[in-house]
Amino acid sequence: MIGRKIRRDDRITILSGAGISAESGVPTFRGEDGLWKGYDATQLATPQAFARDPQKVLEWYTWRRKLIAECNPNAAHNAIAALEDAGYDVTVITQNVDNLHRRAGSRKIVELHGNIFKLRCSGGCSGIITISEETPPENIPRACPACGLLLRPHIVWFGEFLYPEDVSAAHCRLANTDFLFIVGTSGVVHPAASFGYLAKEAGAYVVEINIELTPLSEMVDATLIGRAGEILPKIFEPLLGAK
Ligand code: OAD
């Protein structure tokens, strides 16, 4: 299936995008049924939009949270978590905010763009409040317990910087990876779009899994065209008995 066999102590990193959750029913951003098709992201996922109309932005995230809460991890998320459970050195670096890797059981996760089930003070107080898929909209806290300002989604909006600690955690892992699987991302949003290059320069074997070619396809060692939920289990399940 892939050009180089994964060995027991190989360091395996998954860089995932919205495509890994598509089979769970979570809309992607730029696909045919993409989220951005129905909404102008710049009118909703930006600090300016939140300042202009916080209620509209909060309602959009409540709608997205409700949709995601009805979705479940799919075979791709589960195969990654099973590999970690089997004792392999697996780290997930995800652009997704849907919490599905964690719900599948993955524990070593870098949430580059945040998590839709986390809230933080819009005024910059340090605390992060975690809610769950079961939290009813009416029970989602609205005001920062420390200062009373509005709570906002702990998500990286357009025009915002990623948390430095997340980027450095990702860079550190990418520099020390034997296999990087780039799964379900269009490869157009930085800094994640550059992560494949970083890993390859550091000696990783880079595999792309997508239903179509992307700007990353010419750089990777292998491109596997197909659905993540079908391809990843085929790659990882044979390893589970070997550990
Ligand atoms: P996109 O919607 O840009 O791309 C989704 C990718 O997944 C596309 O390349 C699809 O071809 C592929 N795909 C769809 N279904 C698939 C499947 N079943 N198996 C494998 N691949 C599949 O989503 P991202 O690349 O994740 O940022 O977008 C990156 C960022 O742009 C997002 O994190 C978001 C957005 O702005 C923030 O929310 C901060």
DSSP letter (8 states) at residue 243: -
Distance (angstroms) between ligand 1 centre and the Cα of 132 equals: 23
* Count of other CB atoms within 10 angstroms of residue 15: 31
For the chain, counts of helices (H) and of strands (E): 9, 9
Q: Kindly give the number of the ligand 1 atom that is closest to the alpha carbon of 17.
A: 26
What is the C-alpha to C-alpha distance for residues 16 and 93, in angstroms, rounded to an integer? 6
> Range with the lowest mean pLDDT among 61-70, 99-108, 168-177, 233-242?
233-242
Higher local confidence (pLDDT), 33 or 136: 136
- Taking the CA of residue 156 as reference, the ligand 1 atom at the shortest distance is 39
CATH no., domain 31-70+120-155 = 3.30.1600.10
pLDDT tier for residue 120 given thresholds of 50, 70 and 90: very high
> How many angstroms does the Cα of residue 138 sit away from the middle of ligand 1?
30
Among residues 101, 113, 171, 190, the one annotated as catalytic is 113
Task: Collect all residues with Cβ–Cβ distance below 8 Å to 204 and sequence separation of at least 6.
Answer: 13, 174, 177, 178, 179, 180
For residue 130, report the distance from its CA to the centre of ligand 1, in Å: 24
Categorise residue 17: left if φ over 0, alpha if ψ from -120 to 50, beta otherwise. beta
Q: Is 152 in the pocket of ligand 1 (CB under 6 A)?
A: no
Q: What pLDDT, on the 0 to 100 scale, is given for residue 197? A: 98
* Probe target for ligand 1 pocket from 110, 186, 207, 213, with the most ligand atoms within 8 Å of CB: 186
Whether 22 is in the pocket of ligand 1, judged by its Cβ within 6 Å, is: yes
- Distance from chain centroid for Cα 49: 23
Q: Are strands 128-130 and 114-121 parallel, antiparallel or unpaired?
A: antiparallel
Name residue 57's amino acid: V
At residue 243, the pLDDT reads: 53
Q: Which residue has the higher pLDDT, 106 or 27?
A: 106
Centre of ligand 1 from the C-alpha of residue 24, in Å: 13
Angle among Cα 150, 154, 155 to the nearest 5 degrees reads: 120
> In this predicted model, what pLDDT tens digit does every residue of 30-80 receive, in sequence order?
877 777 666 777 778 999 999 999 999 999 999 999 999 999 999 999 999
Whether residue 184 has its Cβ less than 6 Å from ligand 1:
yes
Confidence of residue 3 (pLDDT cuts 50, 70, 90): low
Name which of 189, 218, 156 is nearest 17 in CA terms.
Answer: 189
CA gap 79, 187 in Å, rounded: 22
CA of 162 to the centre of ligand 1 (A): 18
Distance CA 102, CA 112 (A): 14
d(CA 165, CA 167): 6
**Pocket of ligand 1 contains residue 153 by CB under 6 Å:** no
Looking at beta carbons, which pairs linking 109-113 to residues 24 or more positions away fall under 8 Å? 110/166, 110/169, 110/170, 110/173, 111/166, 112/156, 112/162, 112/166, 112/167, 112/170, 112/191, 112/192, 113/155, 113/156, 113/162
Is 77 known to be catalytic? no
What value does the mean pLDDT take over residues 120-143? 92
Ligand 1 and 191: CB distance under 6 A: no
Mean pLDDT of 16-28: 96
Model confidence, pTM? 0.96
Mention the CATH class of domain 2-25+73-113+162-240: alpha beta
Return the domain boundaries, the chain.
2-25+73-113+162-240, 31-70+120-155
Ligand 1 atom closest to 23 (CA): 18
Angle between helix axes 75-85 and 228-240 (nearest 10 degrees) is 20
CA of 17 to the centre of ligand 1 (A): 5
The closest of 19, 21, 36, 118 to 70, measured between CA atoms, is: 21
Q: Would the CB of 162 count as within 6 Å of ligand 1?
A: no
